[in-house]
Amino acid sequence: MFWGDYFLDTTHLTTEEHGAYLLLIARYWSDQKPLKDDDNFLRMITKTSPKAWKRLSPIIKAFFICKDGMLHHKRIDAEIIKLQARQKRGHTGGVSKAENIRKSRIDHYNKHVTSKQEANASDQQSITTSTTTSTNITPISPLSPTTVNEFGLTTHIIDCAREHAPGWDINYLINQWSNWQSKQEVPARDKNMSFLAYVKRYTKGKPPH
C-alpha cells in the first residue's frame, strides 16, 4: 500500500467513503483481479446498505475504469504485474539454487569416493609390494578377480573385505552394505570400493557378527 499516493488522491473523501474505497481495493488486491461491476456485489464488500451504497457509488467508482462489466484500477493492476514478475523470478531462482545444491552434493560425494578409492589403492599397492619383496613371489588370488557376484562385487574385493574383517560373516556384511546402498540418494560409482570402505567403517571396533 502506497499511503502517500493514496492520501494525495483521496483528500476529498469522507470517513465513510474512505472505508468503502479501502474495502474495495483490499478485495481487488486479495483476488489479484478486477472487481465485478455489480452493485449488490460491491455493496456486500463495502458492508453498506442499498441506500448508502447508492450515495457512495458514484464517488467510489470514479477511482476505477469500467470495462466489459469489470472495474479496473490502474495503479493496483500495475502493482499486481510487478508482484507476479517478482514471484516468477523468485521461483526460477529457487529452482536454480536447489539444482546447484544438488550438484554440489553429488560433486562432494564423488570427490569423497575418489579419495577413498585412491587411498585404498595405495594401501593395496603397499601390501603387494611388501609381500613381493619379502617372498619374491607375486601374490595371486585363488579365484579370478573379475568374477562378479549378484551384488556386483568381485571375488577379489570380497577376499579383501574378509582380511579387513576377520571372523565376520561376509554374507551378513554384503547384505548390510546392500541395504545401506539402496537408501543412498546417489548410487556408488564403484560398488567394490564402496563395499570395502563400508566394511572398514562398519566393523571398526566391533566384535565379529
pLDDT, position 40? 95
Neighbours of 120 (CB within 10 A): 18
Q: Is the pTM of this model over 0.75?
A: no
CA torsion angle 157 163 165 169 (round to 10): 70
- The segments of the chain whose pLDDT lies below 50 read 133-144
- In this prediction, residue 147 carries a pLDDT of 63
Residue 48 is placed in which grid cell? Answer: 453498506
pLDDT at 143: 43
Q: Tens of pLDDT along 81-97?
A: 888 888 887 766 555 66
The per-residue DSSP string of the chain comes to: --HHHHHHH-TT--HHHHHHHHHHHHHHHHHTSPEE--HHHHHHHHT--HHHHHHHHHHHHTTSEEETTEEE-HHHHHHHHHHHHHHHHHHHHHHHHHHHHHHHHHHHHHHHHHHHHHHHHHHHHHHHHHHHHHHS-----SS-TT-B-TTS-BHHHHHHHHHHSTTS-HHHHHHHHHHHHHT-SS--S-HHHHHHHHHHHHHTT----
